[in-house]
Amino acid sequence: MDPVLIGEILAALMFVGVIGVLMLGFPVAFSLAGTAIIFGLVGWMLGVYDPSNYGSLAGRYIGLMTNEVLVAVPLFVFMGVMLERSGIAEQLLLTMGKLFGNLRGGLALSVIVVGALLAASTGVVGATVVTMGLISLPAMLRAGYDPKLATGVICASGTLGQIIPPSTVLIFMGDMLSGINAQVQMEKGNFAPEPVSVGALFAGAIIPGLLLVALYAAYVIFKAWRDPQSAPATPVPESERAGLLREVVVALIPPLLLILAVLGSILAGIATPTEAASVGSVGALLLAALRRRLSFSILKQAVISTATITSMVFIILFGAAVFSVVFRMMGGDNLVHEFLSSMPGGAVGAIIIVMLVMFLLGFILDTFEIIFIVIPITAPVLLALDVDPIWLGVMVGVNLQTSFLTPPFGFALFYLRGVAPSRVSTGMIYKGVIPFVLLQILGLVTLFFFPQLITSLPDLLY
């Protein structure tokens, strides 16, 4: 049999095999690397893989560890954890609940607003979902909200940190697409390509993030209008309304200042994402100190949590690098190129297939697992078909936001399940997120047909 064909068959089987191993519950990073090593050994025995290719991993790992852009990841994670500890999220939720309380669906709208603000100032999904689940869910249930609506809106709003900058997913996406795009453009004879920066991806994600916020809010308003019993008003007593304006100002100013300092400096070109992340981390420490929440114990918890989250993400990245080397060297990239290039409709057909595959993988895999496996394999083909890298990165980000919501393994569902009262069943949580998954698909389709919603702001700023 033709060695090229054998290699491509092994590459395809390796992709299917790693999905199967992950579904069995094995750790992600070791599943990726272990499956790749086993298939690499089989390929070596069949004469279609050279083990010396593993030597390139050392350079990759050193490059990842010395990459200044990726330093922003632990800094943004630390900023998010410190803001959670400082009580800003709690104050925002309580204050916004009072502000919107007189409206039907007001508590749900307050959760959406706070989710967007926390996404723009922290970007840590788990902390946001847990905080809103602890504070808002009991209040919404006491007010008579439908548990499905309450849990759905908390999960969906908590995942906005995946797409609204500063998003750690977009940081990794920007770094990966930058290198892939440069390589693709050089192969096409363009030796001075437009750079793909994390700042440009951040700019491209702002309008799509706001679009999702608007879709969530529109659904809550529609639901409250059609079924008033599912989202009743919670009028604020007159005695508490007197100082409400002051409470709103005090609750909003700190996160807005932090958003302005971090995002504003990146979009204005004043600071790189890493520099802005360091400013944000210091700002989070100052806010915790001003609220008298800064102590050695809290700082220790934040540092340990940051180290844990960052280590988890980077060990997955290292495992994915092993997978990528074996997959490519056995001809997997050629197989993917031929498959996507032969799709009817050209680039449009290829994009639809890739987006569909990512959406389906979101049912069983985490966001980082998907981008580390799929982006290195498919992005070179899509960029070679002249797909805009900024548009592609944001579309992937919006698509993979659903991986936090789709049953059975959506992480946001597990975060909320861990803090929800026993009378809220897992089935209620699963049913509650379905309308919001459909809304995200609607948002993705809208961005597909109106790409300028993504590209206009980066074009204006950069």
Query: Which of 364 and 32 is assigned the larger pLDDT?
Result: 32
Alpha-carbon gap, residue 147 to 253, rounded angstroms: 31
Task: Choose among 373, 371, 380, 370: nearest CA to 338.
Answer: 380
If you average pLDDT over each of 109-123, 158-172, 427-441, which comes out highest?
Answer: 427-441
Count of Cβ atoms closer than 10 Å to residue 191 Cβ: 8
pLDDT of res. 1: 67
pLDDT tens, position by position, 1-23? 678 888 888 988 998 888 888 77
**Tokens in use for 281?**
């981390």
SS3 380: helix
Q: Which long-range contacts (CB under 8 A, 24 or more apart) does 185-191 make?
A: 185/383, 187/384, 188/384
Query: Is the pLDDT at 122 greater than 70, yes or no?
Result: no
Q: Which helix (H) or strand (E) holds 85?
A: helix 72-86
Query: Is the pLDDT at 399 greater than 70, yes or no?
Result: yes
Cα torsion angle, 185, 189, 191, 194, sign: negative
Summary mean pLDDT of the chain: 86
Query: Is the pLDDT at 148 greater than 90, yes or no?
Result: yes
Burial class (CB in 10 A: 0-12, 13-18, 19+), 447: buried
pLDDT of res. 207: 95
Average of pLDDT values for 107-129? 82
Query: Is the pLDDT at 410 greater than 80, yes or no?
Result: no
**Tokens in use for 284?**
């989070």
pLDDT of res. 273: 87
Average of pLDDT values for 256-268? 85
Count of Cβ atoms closer than 10 Å to residue 203 Cβ: 25
Length reported for the chain? 462
Residue 440 pLDDT level (bands cut at 50, 70, 90)? very high
pLDDT tens, position by position, 31-66? 889 999 999 999 999 888 888 888 888 888 888 888
pLDDT of res. 109: 92
pLDDT of res. 124: 67
Query: Is the pLDDT at 70 greater than 70, yes or no?
Result: yes
Helix (H) and strand (E) counts for the chain?
Answer: 22, 0
Alpha-carbon gap, residue 263 to 259, rounded angstroms: 6
pLDDT of res. 86: 77
pLDDT tens, position by position, 161-219? 888 888 888 988 988 999 899 888 888 887 777 778 888 999 999 999 999 999 999 99
Residue 153 pLDDT level (bands cut at 50, 70, 90)? very high
Query: Is the pLDDT at 123 greater than 70, yes or no?
Result: no
pLDDT tens, position by position, 311-361? 888 888 888 889 888 988 888 888 888 888 888 878 899 999 999 988 888
pLDDT of res. 239: 67
Residue 377 pLDDT level (bands cut at 50, 70, 90)? confident
- The residue type at 330: M
pLDDT of res. 8: 86
Residue 392 pLDDT level (bands cut at 50, 70, 90)? very high
pLDDT of res. 270: 86
> What b/e readout covers 327-364, taking b as 16+ CB neighbours within 10 angstroms?
bbbbbbbebbbeebeebeeebeebbeebbeebbebbee
SS3 73: helix
pLDDT of res. 220: 94
